[in-house]
Every structure is written in structure tokens, then in C-alpha cells.
Amino acid sequence: MRKLDYINSQNDEYKFGDTSAVLTYTAFDDDTKVVLAGKTLTFKIKDDTAYVASAPGQLNGDGTVSLKTADIKDLTPGTYFVELWISVDNTTAIYPSKGFVSFTINESTQTVTNKYRFLTLTELINNFNKAVADVKAGPKGVDGKDGATPTIDKATKHWLINGTDTGCIAEGLTGAPGKDGINGSDGAPGKDGISPTITINSVKTLEAGQPVTVTNSGDSTNVKLDIAIPQGDQGRQGIQGVPGETALSLKLGTVSTGDVGAITNVGTDSAQIWNVVLPKAKDGRDATITIGKIVTGTTASVINSGTATNAVLDFTLPQPDMSKYMLADDVTKSLAPKVDKSTLSSYYTAAQVDSLISNKADVSALATYASKGDINALIERVKKLEMSVTKS
């Protein structure tokens, strides 16, 4: 409970006109002294019937608050009741919680006694009504002037009549905030929600430049998404590759006999022309010539791995540097993860590329083998030589 106590309960009286007297109070919350620093302190004063005045509270160093009689010098002799309003921010606390604290203004030599007495409002009204009843009706008087309409000063909140401040407060002070209402009861639990299912219904490709669209062809609980994605713009043309080496060609030149078998390239590395020297038969015995191994190497050569009369020719064909080339299968594998073939309607498919490449010279194959026709021609020439040797 909030309490407001005098510092000296016997010092609650002073005489009318004494402006040096001080009434000092202490505010308590239950038995705890209220800290007043940093707060707005205001005394509100009433008499037996109504609110009559207000005055600022003066904070003392010991935490008490004083009401100076100089601030309420217009009050006439009588007993008054006081409250202390303590405000901070938008909150106001009123002390005491119950009843009031009173003080008395006694008459002094400045007050007139035994000549006038104070009337209550009720007595004043009754006396006025009695006087009106005793007055006889006289002639009608002249109409009075229109009364002035009072207004309220926004700054002081006082009544203004014709712009003159009457000193009368037009608006009451803001009351203390009401207590918080009781919390309402919890509402009924909501129904369990339905977990939706989401599936991809279709995905299609749009023309380049079209916006991405996602459409639900199902409902809110069975979502089926139809997605349309535009294809990318055509990429820039790639850098031209390094020119490949000229395909290897092989032709058979002259075929003659000699003491030692040999093959001489009288052409170039890429367009070779072989002149073949077959060993002559000795001692009248028939010589035989067969084709042994055919391998690739760095330099073209023919070695007789047999004898002079039973020659076995092992051929070494030069192979070009293949580090600059890729097999058609490797090209296809490299391109497959880079481009979606199904969307390249304006481009060759891998199969079409392979078909086009197959119509061209296969560098890898040419680099590894002589042409079938050249080999067959060489075999025919060798057979003819064998027949010539046999006949001779």
C-alpha cells in the first residue's frame, strides 16, 4: 500500500499569509521509502467539496518532499486535504492509496472574522432561489449583450474569454492507467494440416529468350509441377584447331634384284615411293620370298629375317606424331557431357558427325597402316618376282 506521512505530524498548521512555512512528507510503498530522484512531483489539494489547487513538490537531499506555503498562498483559512502525484514517463502513482493527508490554515490578522461567513455551494443556490422568489417582476429590461464563448489555451489548458487567460483549468489531469485485463482463455486447437506431395510432372525446353514457367497441374495437396525452361543462346564459334599432318600415302616404285634385299623411299615422309631390291638366288637354287611382320616405327625399313634363298621380309612403317589428334570416339565422349543433343535441333548429332568424319580420311588409321591396295599390289609384284627368279 502507498502511504504519505508528515515528517513532523504536529507541524501541519500555519496561519493565513505565512509564505515561509514548509510542509514536509515522506512517501512509502508499504514500509519501503520511495526513491523520488528523476521523477515529477506534484501536490494536489482539495477542500471539503472540490479540488482547489496544485503545487510542485520540492525534492530534499534526504529523499523527502516539501510543499511550500508560498505556492498555495491564495488558499483561505480552513482544513485542506493533500495527495502527492509522482510521475515518470507516461506513468503516475498517487500517494496515499487510501484517504488523504490534511493540513490546516488558521486565521491571521489579515483575515476578516465575524462579518462574513463562507457559504457552501448548496447554501448559495438556496439563498439565490429564495431571493429570486421574493423579487417582484419589474418592467422588461434591455436585452443584454451576447456572452463570449470561452476557448481552451492549448499550452496552459486554461479557459480563455475573449483571449484573456482566466487562470481556471479547463481539463483535468490524466488519470492513472487502468489495470491490465485478464488474459482470455486459449482457443480450441486447430485441425491437423495435410502434408502435400510434390512431383515433377513434365520438363520441356522453350525457345531462347522465353521466360521460365512453373505451373501446378495438380492441387494444393497433390502438387504436380510442369516446368518450362528456355534453351540457352547459341554459343560462340570455337577457336580453329591446329592443322593436322598430311595423311600418309605409300606407292610401290621399282622392283629389282640384287645381292642384298633392300627398300628405298624415293618419295617424301608423307608421300612415300618404295623401290624394292630383291636378293638374287645363288648356286642355281630357287629363292623364296614371304612377307613376315609389318609394324610401325619412326623410320621406314625392310629387314630379311630369313636367308638369302628363303627370304622373310619384315616391314617397319613410319608412324606420325599422334599426340595432336583424337580418335572419333574420344571426340564424341568429350562433347557428350557438354551439350544436350536433344535440344540442338539446328546442329549435327554425334552420329551425323561420325558419319561425316567416316567419309573423310581417318588420320589415325592412315598413320598406323599402309593402304590395303598398296599392300596387295606389293604382294602381286613380289609373286611376279618369285616367278621370274624361278624361271631364271
Domain CATH for 100: 2.60.40
SS (H, E, C) 267-304: CCCCEEEEEEEEECCCCCCCCEEEEEEEEEECCCEEEE
205 and 331 part of one domain = no
254 and 389 part of one domain = yes
Distance, first Cα to last Cα, the chain: 148
Residue that finishes a domain, picked among 58, 81, 106: 106
- pLDDT at residue 19, as a whole number: 93
Identify the top-confidence range among 82-86, 266-270, 309-313: 82-86
Q: What pTM was estimated for this model as a whole?
A: 0.32
367 and 252 part of one domain = yes
- pLDDT at residue 91, as a whole number: 93
- pLDDT at residue 114, as a whole number: 44
Residue 277 maps to a domain: yes
Residue that finishes a domain, picked among 106, 123, 143: 106
Residue 155 maps to a domain: no
Residue 225 maps to a domain: yes
Residue 310 maps to a domain: yes
Categorize the per-residue pLDDT at 368 as very low, low, confident or very high, splitting at 50, 70 and 90. Answer: low
pLDDT, average across residues 169-191: 79
91 and 8 part of one domain = yes
Average pLDDT, the chain: 79
- pLDDT at residue 115, as a whole number: 45
266 and 383 part of one domain = yes
Residue 246 has pLDDT above 70, yes or no: no
Residue 122 maps to a domain: no
Residue 320 has pLDDT above 70, yes or no: no
Domain count, the chain: 3
Residue 360 has pLDDT above 50, yes or no: yes
CA angle 357, 361, 366 (to 5 degrees): 130
361 and 288 part of one domain = yes
Work out the burial of residue 250: count CB atoms within 10 Å of its CB; fewer than 13 is exposed, 13-18 middle, 19 or more buried.
buried
Question: 382 and 250 in contact (C-beta within 8 Å)?
Answer: no
207 and 325 part of one domain = no
Question: How many CB atoms within 10 Å of residue 294?
Answer: 13
Instruction: Determine what percent of the chain is predicted with pLDDT higher than 70.
Output: 77
What are the pLDDT digits (tens) for 80-113? 999 999 999 989 999 999 999 999 999 988 775 4
270 and 383 part of one domain = yes
Q: Show the domain range for 212.
A: 197-230
Phi, psi of 66, deg, nearest 5: -115, 145
221 and 256 part of one domain = no
Phi, psi of 255, deg, nearest 5: -125, 120
Identify the top-confidence range among 153-162, 307-316, 318-327: 153-162
356 and 311 part of one domain = yes
